[in-house]
Structure 1
Amino acid sequence: MLRLAFALALLALPAAASEKIADQYPGSLLYSKPVEFIPGVWSAIGATAAPTYENAGHNNNLSFIVTGEGVVVVNAGGAYGLAQALHEEIRAVTDEPVVAVFNENGQGHAALGNGYWAEQSVPIIAHVDAAREFENYGPQSLADMMRLNKERGEGTELVLPTETFEDEYIIELGDYRIEARHLGPAHSPGDIVIWLPKQSLVISGDMAFHERMLPIFENTNTADWLETWDNAFEPLGATYVIPGHGHPTNMAQVRKYTKGYLEYLRGQIREHIDAGGDLTDAYYVDQSPYTLLDTFDELATKNAGRVYEQMEWE
């Protein structure tokens, strides 16, 4: 009951991110110590800043579910050492073995820790597109991580997922039905969410953001992302959301800062295009309602330019 009260209290809080805090857990490579959000569901909340040496590249959420019959991990971690540090925290919580690891997408911070889990003989599961993305761009992700993390990245090697799926992958353990779902195009190729229907909780990965500004990549189609949101993500009706970045929250919060932001930015760019504006000026359309989000300075102009390039041909 105390944990549930704590979770409900968190849901009522405004966004309270930590972009300027170098490290919240000095005794570990993890940026923060895992916390139990609802019974059995834990998450080590990453920095809402860009990856740095100080945060060891832990700038996304590393979650795990203690089912009573084994532990399911969501995100392998962005380096061998981060995966190992997460496993140490799991062992401090339970004697149950880790039985599966999901990569929420093919980005480095979701999958560069695969090598550690492979050493533990744990199945590593991802969407087929995420596995392909990691195979294609993993070498660059590894090089970038090592340049940043230096000795903190030691031991990291490229290891691909051992199992892939296209639509859904279901694990039933104890009282938990764990549904890994590919809902459709969103932030990056092969994005998945982990849906716990009995707990009404979704570990959304990069489907949903709130404390930090979402990045729009060259291969991010914002119109498709909005369609996936409306047709597949919103209908989940989740009570609790653990996003890819930032603290656990609720649907209203991620709706405001993900769907709301995408719709707002597309609206600004549409007005700009209709007025005859070009790419040079598109970078500077008004995004002032979102200036308080972490990574705004790094991402706002890039996002605007990429949305212009998309919408110019819609």
Structure 2
Amino acid sequence: MKYLTPLFALAALPALASEDIADQYPASPLYSKPVEVIPHVFSAIGATAPPTYENGGHNNNLSFIITGDGVVVVNGGASYKLAEALHGEIKAVTDQPVKLVINENGQGHAMLGNSYWADQGVEIVAHVDAATDFEDSGPQTMRSHQAVLKEGAENTRLVAPTTTFEEAHIVEMGDMTIEARYLGHAHSPGDIVVWLPEQSMVIAGDMAFHERMLPIFEHTYTADWIETWDTAFEPLGATYVIPGHGHPTNMAQVRRYTRDYLIYLREKIGAHLEDGGDLADAYYVDQSPYTNLDTFEELATKNAGRVYEQMEFE
């Protein structure tokens, strides 16, 4: 087996992600070249911007784990070409075959690349709710990605996970124990984390954000997300966190920009409701402590409006 030199300190990673950088790896469909975060765990860090033609739709993190007896990939990717490019990077660092792909949720950037992995005969695992979400939203997501990626979407087709689970899918492979776990309601249906207990690392998916503002969707229930964080995610006690978007970090950093942001916004909206405020003004509650986050301009007002709509009837 051959390995890249591991990044033993998170500080050794490249500069923080920026939504203003169109592409960090022009030689590849990937937005950035995979880095070894801890020994045998790699991640290709996606753009913190929305999907664009320039970033190839690679705006989430595509990770892989070299176990000693095969490779486990976390996220199918947003297209056939992205998955194929990631596989090329895997082959450059190990001769071990990819044996498993885990989809972190049912969004396009997690599942559209399943088409490539299915063609390689690889098992694809996801939470049952994520599979249902992809079945429902996949056609629209595909059309959106085709419009943005153009020729970059070639060969991409809708392929569902081959295996689903409800609570946990635990794999013993080579020298690694890999636990795909559903911890509870969070960002989107079927959100899971991939927990490596022996390494104290969590590949958190959209449970955790820190360099870009988290989006609150119509099906994102913020009170449930906070509860899942407090009762199941934080108690993992992870030393290393690879979030769904942005560079690897630690629990304190993602807590600050995920859990604490959700609590902050709910407090602001709660005060606005107590004062008799309406939806039109709710969009503009003060979120200034988070203006440093990428996608703030795109998401802050939308987030406030959705939290108002939720809390109005709590």
Q: Which residue of 2 aligns with 1:3?
A: 6
Cα deviation digits, residues 185-212 of structure 1 (max 9, x gap): 0000000000000000000000000000
Cα deviation digits, residues 246-295 of structure 1 (max 9, x gap): 00000000000000100000000000000000000000000000001000
Deviation at 1:178, TM superposition (A): 0.1
Number of paired residues?
Answer: 310
Is 2:201 aligned against 1:198? no
Cα deviation digits, residues 16-38 of structure 1 (max 9, x gap): 22210000000000000000000
Give the SS at the match of 1:5.
Answer: coil
Deviation at 1:10, TM superposition (A): 4.9
The 2-side partners of 1:175 and 1:251 are apart by 25
Is 2:135 aligned against 1:135? yes
Deviation at 1:6, TM superposition (A): 2.8
Deviation at 1:4, TM superposition (A): 5.2
- The answer as to whether partners of 2:8 and 2:37 remain within 8 angstroms in 1 is no
The 1-side partners of 2:150 and 2:114 are apart by 18
- With over 3 angstroms needed to count, the CA separation of the structure-2 counterparts of 1:4 and 1:153, relative to structure 1, is closer
The 2-side partners of 1:136 and 1:263 are apart by 30
Q: Which residue of 1 aligns with 2:27?
A: 27
Q: Which amino acid aligns with 2:91?
A: R
The 2-side partners of 1:152 and 1:17 are apart by 22
The 1-side partners of 2:188 and 2:7 are apart by 32
Structure-to-structure mapping, 1:209-224, within 5 angstroms: 209-224=209-224
Give the SS at the match of 1:19.
Answer: coil
Deviation at 1:3, TM superposition (A): 3.1
- With over 3 angstroms needed to count, the CA separation of the structure-2 counterparts of 1:124 and 1:168, relative to structure 1, is same
Give the SS at the match of 2:276.
Answer: coil
Q: Which residue of 1 aligns with 2:62?
A: 62
Identity of aligned residues (%): 72
RMSD: 1.2
- The answer as to whether partners of 2:7 and 2:35 remain within 8 angstroms in 1 is no
The 2-side partners of 1:181 and 1:272 are apart by 36
Q: Which residue of 1 aligns with 2:283?
A: 283
The 1-side partners of 2:117 and 2:132 are apart by 19
Structure 1 segments unaligned to the other structure (5+ residues):
none
Structure-1-length-normalised TM-score: 0.97
The 1-side partners of 2:292 and 2:17 are apart by 10
The 2-side partners of 1:112 and 1:250 are apart by 29
Is 2:231 aligned against 1:227? no
- The answer as to whether partners of 2:78 and 2:108 remain within 8 angstroms in 1 is yes
Structure-2-length-normalised TM-score: 0.97
Q: Which residue of 2 aligns with 1:88?
A: 88
The 1-side partners of 2:174 and 2:87 are apart by 20
The 1-side partners of 2:151 and 2:118 are apart by 21
Q: Which residue of 2 aligns with 1:148?
A: 148
The 1-side partners of 2:280 and 2:77 are apart by 37
